Amino acid sequence: MEKLPLAPALLRLISEGRFFKVVFAWLLRLGALGAVLAGVWLSIGLWKDGGSTTQAVFAQLVFQIALAAAFYLAAHLAWLRAQDVAAMPQVGGDVILPLARLIMRLGGEIYASLLAVLSAGGAFLIWISAGDAQSGLAGLGPLLPLASGEPFPAGLSLLAAGLASAALGLLGAYTASEVLALLCAIERNTRAGA
């Protein structure tokens, strides 16, 4: 078995933590590219479901700008966090938990930015088109809360629900990250005291 030095070298590489930094930095960069491609794909799909009046087309154009901004933010956040992962210091071999904290925060940041920008764009879409292009938002069902009824209250409820969900999602992700940091500090203090 000593003639196959690949497995011990691979295990040593994984246990040092540098492996995870490199892999996750590249995965986040690929995620940034994926966010751009998802935005383009979603944009094409949403043009098919929009209304046909001039007002609906203009509303759809405004929403497409918001969609581009939202997916740019998601890609940019993933790219920035990839740089943070690559530059993350390695303190005594501990890489996984700081990496998990960073990814929790990134998840909340992406969720909040997508939801905030898309709910604002959706509200404007409803208001500008007077509800005519509202059916185009059905493709964003998992991201945006559904709004129905008269255009102004529907847009207002979409905006309020989206912004509130974005704030709560960001708060939840940052809280989970801080709880993980607290548990790690408790564990370190317990080991130091023992």
Task: Report the predicted TM-score, pTM, of the whole model to 2 decimal places.
Answer: 0.84
Question: What is the spatial distance between Cα 145 and Cα 157, in angstroms, rounded to a whole number?
Answer: 9
Question: What is the spatial distance between Cα 154 and Cα 147, in angstroms, rounded to a whole number?
Answer: 5
pLDDT in the model for residue 169: 95
Model confidence at 180, in pLDDT bands (50, 70, 90)?
very high
pLDDT in the model for residue 98: 86
Instruction: Tell me the domain boundaries of the chain.
Output: 13-193
